[in-house]
Amino acid sequence: MKSKAASAPYLVWMVLFIVVPVLLVAYFAFTDSSGAFTLENIARVGQYSNVFLRSIWLGALSTVICLVLGYPVAYLISKSSLKRQSVLLMLIMLPMWMNFLLRTYAWMTLLEDSGLINSFLSLLGLPPFHMINTQGAVVLGMVYDYIPFMVLPLYTVLSKIDRAVVEAAQDLGANGRRVFLRVTFPLSMPGMISGVTMVFVPSVSTFIISKMLGGGANLMIGDLIEMQFLGSAYNPNLGSAISLVLMVLILICMGIMNEFDSGENEGGGMMI
């Protein structure tokens, strides 16, 4: 009884801020402006398939880059001394102490045609590069903002790998490369799954980064939803339908990633 009473506030919180908003989104998605049931909003979502594909592509690309960059960083931090680990983790988290919008504005200052990067290139006698308002700038902004969400779960898993397992593999004759590929990498798969999920979900649905660094030319799902609720094309029913479809796509992706995670956990022993 005590445990049920203690969990009551969390259940109320979930109902008010998760269940109720999802039900409202579903209601507006399947109704028109008069409140009558309709499937027209869901059917119209297909008109924006190119926006969905662009968002998934840029989100997946940002996730892969975060994984490629974040895994070595997390691995090196996990192999450092405890005192150095604390300092390195603080450096990873330090940018997140600043406002998200301010960090994005800072990248605008760096990437614009007359920004700091091009000013530095001109001092070196090099031609300027057009970086702002491109897909590359959007991907760069997402990688910068979301890479801590890749590093932290990877570090958590890598730091908990039993040293005895690694030493056992070495005693069986495995060199450093084989130990990493056959022991460390498979055991770090849960951290990879968590990191990929935590980066892909906000990347595919972002709108501030794509608006500020993409200049509106690289419309993403988040921008499209914002336009339906806050822009000149005010249509909350269509915006809810797009949000519902995006929610379903994200749940499918998370389900697929969880299947990979389950497969790794059920794999049993590892061949050296």
What DSSP string describes 25-73? HHHHHTB-TTS-B-SHHHHHGGGGHHHHHHHHHHHHHHHHHHHHHHHHH
For residue 254, what pLDDT is reported? 84
Q: Is residue 209 part of a domain?
A: yes
pLDDT tens-digit series, residues 89-131: 999 999 888 888 899 999 999 999 989 999 999 999 989 889 9
User: Rounded to a whole number, what is the largest CA-CA distance in the chain?
Assistant: 74
- Say if residues 63 and 196 touch (Cβ distance below 8 Å): yes
Q: Is residue 270 part of a domain?
A: no
Q: Is residue 216 part of a domain?
A: yes
Assigned token pair, 92: 């990873």
Q: What is the number of structural domains in the chain?
A: 1
pLDDT tens-digit series, residues 10-38: 888 888 998 999 999 999 999 998 999 99
pLDDT averaged over every residue in the chain:
89
Q: Is residue 91 part of a domain?
A: yes
- Say if residues 54 and 218 touch (Cβ distance below 8 Å): yes
Q: Is residue 11 part of a domain?
A: no
Sequence-distant (≥ 6) Cβ neighbours of residue 147 within 8 angstroms: 66, 69, 70, 199
Q: Is residue 26 part of a domain?
A: yes
Give the residue from 168, 191, 189 showing the smallest Cα distance to 179. Answer: 168
- Is the pLDDT confidence value at 137 over 80? yes
pTM: 0.89
Q: Is residue 271 part of a domain?
A: no
> Of residues 8 and 216, which shows the higher confidence score?
8
Give residue 118's domain range: 16-265
CATH code of the domain covering residue 69: 1.10.3720.10
For residue 1, what pLDDT is reported? 60
Band (270; pLDDT cuts 50, 70, 90): very low
pLDDT tens-digit series, residues 47-58: 999 999 999 999
